[in-house]
Amino acid sequence: MTVFSVWAPDVSRVRLRVSGSDLSMDHDSARAGWWTLDVPSAAPGTDYAFLLGDEDLPLPDPRSSWQPSGVHGPSRVYDQSLFSWSDGGWTGRQLPGSVLYELHIGTFTPEGTFDSAISRLDHLVDLGVDLVELLPVNAFNGEHNWGYDGVCWFAPHESYGGPDGLKRFVDACHQRGLGVVLDVVYNHFGPSGAYAPMFGPYLSEGPGTSWGSSVNLDGPLSGEVRSYIVDSVVGWLRDYHVDGLRLDAVHALVDRGAVHLLEELAVAVDALSAHVGRPLSLIAESDLNDPRLITPREGGGYGLTGQWNDDAHHALHTLLTGERQGYYADFGSPQTLADVLTGAFFHAGTWSSFRQRVHGRPVDRTRVPGYRFVAYLQNHDQIGNRALGDRLTASLSPGLLRVGAVLLFTAPFTPMLFMGEEWGASTPWQFFTSHPEPELAAAVATGRRREFGAHGWPEGDVPDPQDPATYLRSRLDWAELDKPEHAEILAFYTRLIALRKAQPDLSDPRLDKIEVTHGDQWLVMHRGGVAVAANLAGKPQRITLPGFIRSVLLATESGATVMRDGVQLPAESAVVVALA
């Protein structure tokens, strides 16, 4: 027997279309605004849809777990209990001490599916990855998309492999000791196939975001909308066994209630973690530089596990590349990186020239551990939102690429790689879509060209997101691993990650235990019994270290000369040493 239910508070009647018949649904006496109906014959695999009022337009279930015919088609009954898991002994992966690896299922392999991605998991194990972070996989319109246009917040995208495909992927990760973090978007619905707002007030009547109308988190009947999000969050973690969620752009969640949605999510996830007996993480993407997000609830915060740290990226990126446009304007000096390494945020109640206002709030470095901040040299945003989607390999020397990697993996934060970064992939990662609607496709392409034209890029240089070639260019080329120059970079990243895990001082998340000195294009980070020296200049430099050198743990170039209290570093190189 299958019980169908749907929240539709503002309609006079709801019908269920199933097995060729339209059946009237009943008011649920226990839940205001809900409609329900038992259909004993509707077994798993049965297609169904809802009809609202007197309309003859079949609509998919807002809580559908399976959309085999796409976001505009009928929903299909899916029984979460029928999948045979083999991860009964899985104890999870906590964020502290972990290395994250961000990947996009559609471009990670040529086939672009969950099953094909499984064939590359051993590569991640050998690299030293702990948590695989998937870009959004919930259903969106079209075949190829970054995933941030999702409209079905409970259903994995069908062309990736649907619900069973995601479960096979997570199960395979757990068999190899890899945890899974899933990127999810709750700040807006995508522009095509978002039928949930036809059922009820899922959208706010107030100001929207750059992606469309805001989700109704604090207006009339917002309690059910909040429950919709909470149930989606719990469902991914419980039904698909994922180990954490990355919450997209939480600064766009407009919530003026006494208990913010983020805190509500943290409470629900903590309760589920206690039940399943393994750590479950919530990691926010936030533009606020507000440590309240990751402050425990006992301390008046929201209680999230961690947050992405764009300041760490900007400090590293500008120092390595020399770029200063847009939001990079305030970054670029060794002092900026020193501030980030010791205090997590650069903008911490300081003036932001990009925003033309004071931005951020200081982090209490004696109480907030560095592992709560996810840091990266590259990610999907920082590559894909460049006009050409070019990686650092397109602009940096091999020496500076290694220096950047050393600074990332010896920092007190949780490091994250973007797929292919570990071998210096030459393939770009560009913004691509496959909207079937011609008007929407044209609007997206025009908007993209206009956005980058305002930043000085010729319109002809900006790839058309709808051109299939844009998507194809963005797929990883695994054959590059057979080339010596790429294999050498991979070996270096593997050694670097192994060093981080072997040295307790390098995984120590205490921000107040870090000392940084710097000068003209050089920087030294002192971490207990370990020191990291980086020469960013195009010439050799002698750098004094805070103690006597006992041994060299890792060097990016063979020409480093060790002296009693310092090192002579070749141009664009770094060294990690143990101190006596």
Catalytic residue flag (residue 477): no
- Is 521 within any annotated ligand binding site? no
Q: Long-range contact list for 467-473, CB < 8 A, 24+ apart? A: 468/144, 468/434, 470/430, 470/431, 470/432, 471/106, 471/107, 471/144, 471/432, 471/434, 473/389, 473/427, 473/428, 473/430
- Is 275 within any annotated ligand binding site? no
- Is 250 within any annotated ligand binding site? yes
From the list 248, 422, 480, 505, the catalytic residue is 248
> Which one-letter amino acid corresponds to residue 107?
T
- Is 105 within any annotated ligand binding site? no
Catalytic residue flag (residue 263): no
Note whether 159 and 143 are within 8 A (CB): yes
* Sign of the torsion angle spanned by Cα atoms 461, 462, 463, 464: negative
- Is 547 within any annotated ligand binding site? no
Residue 39: beta bridge partners? 2
- Is 382 within any annotated ligand binding site? yes
- Is 330 within any annotated ligand binding site? no
Taking alpha carbons only, the member of 463, 392, 479 closest to residue 430 is 463
- Is 440 within any annotated ligand binding site? no
- Is 144 within any annotated ligand binding site? no
From the list 47, 102, 183, 285, the catalytic residue is 285
Backbone angles phi, psi at 138, to 5 degrees: -75, 160
Q: Which tokens hold the place of 99?
A: 């290395």
Note whether 269 and 231 are within 8 A (CB): no
- Is 347 within any annotated ligand binding site? no
- Is 161 within any annotated ligand binding site? no
- Is 311 within any annotated ligand binding site? yes
Report CA 512 to chain centroid distance, whole Å.
Answer: 27
Note whether 433 and 143 are within 8 A (CB): no
Interatomic CA distance for residues 372 and 306, integer angstroms: 4
Q: Which tokens hold the place of 170?
A: 């997570």
- Is 104 within any annotated ligand binding site? no
Backbone angles phi, psi at 246, to 5 degrees: -100, 115
DSSP 32: T
Residue ranges of the binding site: 246-251, 310-314, 380-385
Residue ranges of the binding site for substrate: 246-251, 310-314, 380-385
Annotated active-site positions, please? 248, 285
